[in-house]
A and B are shown apart, each in its own frame.
Chain A
Amino acid sequence: MSVRGHRWRGVVLALGFAFLYTPIAWIVLFSFGGDAGESGHPGLSLHWYRALLENEDLKDAARRSLLLALLSSPLATVIGASAGIALARLERFPGRSALIALLAIPIFAPEVLLGFAFLMLFATLEALTGWPQGKGLLTLVIAHATLGASIVASVVYARVADLDRSLEAAARDLGARPLRVLATVTLPLAAPGILSGWLLALTLSFDDVVTSSFLAGPENTTLPMAVFSSVRVGLNPEINAIGTLMVSTIALVVGITFAALRFGARSRSGAGAGAAPARRGS
């Protein structure tokens, strides 16, 4: 490509990433300001972090969100990984197209619609059977696990579909029973996909505001719900402090995971197992 092509590319990339990262940079910068009001000179301080530490309601909501994410994401992972493995490994089975359609719903349907639909199910079930008794952690976990399963399934499917099928066939030919093939061949090879699917389900659950608003009820405010009701009123530097903490935690976790996955892929292909997909060309 010509030099002109290079320059064009550089400009587009710089503008594009500036657009993507300016808001995140603003959150971080603004969180270290002092209590000088909107116009005053923002000195560097940890004022808003201290205010955050003293806000019991927010800390409560944060704890609840963490618990919710930790309960719902493993459930989402089990359901989603099963679906992803089944769809990638079995060309034909009864209910295959129904499963694909169901998994597509959370990706396409608007959140307001899903949150409302979940609540209508729980209200109808409660009217008919007496279960579940009201809204709360249980209804939140079920809804978040359902939405997360769809994301996990698509990530795991992509990973498993890329894998070499002959490894499982070889294990079967050598007499391994289906459960053993799954546990010792398929699952370890699918592990990077399962791990990133779980992480996605975790952050999705921790971040969800709309679905949770329908299902939480008054005593189960989650962190995003608390942030949402505070932001509705206007700007609040405490939110920037929360934002900075969340952004740095997630960047750290995602960074470590990606580094670990790349390292894992490299060492495995180095060992000559030939199992890691060479497509990414790392």
Chain B
Amino acid sequence: MRRRLSLVDRLTIALPLGWLGLFLALPLVAVVALSFQGIADSIPPIRPLIDSLHGHLAVHATTRAFRIIGSDALYTRAFANGLLNAAMTTLGCMLVGFPLSYAMARAPASRRSLYLFLAILPFWTSFLLRTYAWMGLVRDSGPLNSLLMGLGILDAPLPILYSPAAVLLVMVYSYLPFFVLPMYAVLEKLPQDLLAAAADLGARPLHAFRTVTLPLALPGLVSGAVLVFVPAVGEYVIPELVGNNDTLMIGGILWEEFFQNRDWPVAAAIALVTFLILMLPAAALRRWSGASGAGRA
């Protein structure tokens, strides 16, 4: 089946490879270089890595940025916060998203595409506006508190807005589609006859679920979890809008180093460390899915 690459083939390869190499790989190289640079009182506010001021080349690499983020508890706490928040968000998406995907996948075939459409549609509406909507829903005088107080469950409004709980709630809400889509895709393809066979052989529904459904659904669960966890680690907008001082995370400190402190090397070091932390689970997933894919084929 293999044929020689035609000129058209070469162009469809070269265009994306060239563009992404220039505008996606090169920025990462720039960030790595920058994280080893010193600061200067100039525009841009960095000391060049190499200069040839007195006729010979001088290299000014420094580990200053890494020493700063390693020695200040503010940064380690922000990293811990970001990772913890992403882990809780992933767990929340699983708890909400798995039953939802399962119910969607078990629905009659004629209804499934409608449900899938309904699950995707919020994803098309502005993410910022949906976060904003939650601010209105959970504020002290908002519908949620009014409802709980009207039902007599609460005497005074629950201060949810500007708290870690609000961050978690909105994170789970916003990242839910990233979990539901891969999860649903796997559950929908689950062969029904396997469950029927398990039932015929006397397995109770819960036993069949644990020994048949869950192992087969695992690839969807893992890719959904990674798709939620990895971007969630660096989330900036949600903690900024609905969180408080306790919810300063990686995205927040990078933003502040860049926009407020104008310390580009420290911002670059934060970016580099985050990137390295995130590449580990992503690489693990690739290995894992590559191995299982090879096993199936």
Contacts and interface: CB of A to CB of B under 8 A. Distances in A.
Contact of A228 (B16, B237, B275): B237
Nearest to A120: B30
Interface in A230-282: 231-232, 235, 239-240, 242-243, 246-247, 250-251, 254, 258, 280-282
Q: Is the interface of B mostly helix, strand, loop or mixed?
A: helix
Nearest to A113: B271
Contact of A121 (B27, B126, B131, B143): B27
A36 interface: no
B267 interface: yes
A110 B233 contact: yes
B88 interface: no
Contact of A250 (B9, B124, B231): B124
Residue from B109, B128, B240 with most neighbouring chain A CB atoms (10 Å): B128
B173 A23 contact: yes
A265 to B, nearest CB: 11
A89 B12 CA distance: 11
Contacts of A85: 12
Interface stretch (B62-70, B113-121, B150-158, B211-219): B113-121
A57 to B, nearest CB: 17
Interface residues of B, number: 87
Interface in B70-87: none
A12 B31 contact: no
Contact of B106 (A9, A91, A113): A9
Nearest to B233: A110
A79 B7 contact: no
B175 interface: no
A16 B172 CA distance: 12
B5 interface: yes
Interface residues on A, range: 35 or more
A82 B129 CA distance: 32
Contacts of B131: 231
B275 to A, nearest CB: 6
A116 B271 contact: yes
Nearest to B134: A23
A209 to B, nearest CB: 6
B230 A108 contact: yes
Contact of A110 (B124, B127, B235): B235
Contacts of B141: 38-39
27 contacts: A12-B99, A19-B176, A20-B118, A21-B122, A23-B130, A26-B136, A26-B137, A26-B143, A27-B129, A78-B15, A98-B21, A103-B16, A108-B226, A110-B250, A111-B234, A116-B268, A120-B268, A121-B30, A146-B24, A182-B8, A207-B126, A232-B240, A232-B241, A235-B136, A247-B126, A250-B125, A258-B117
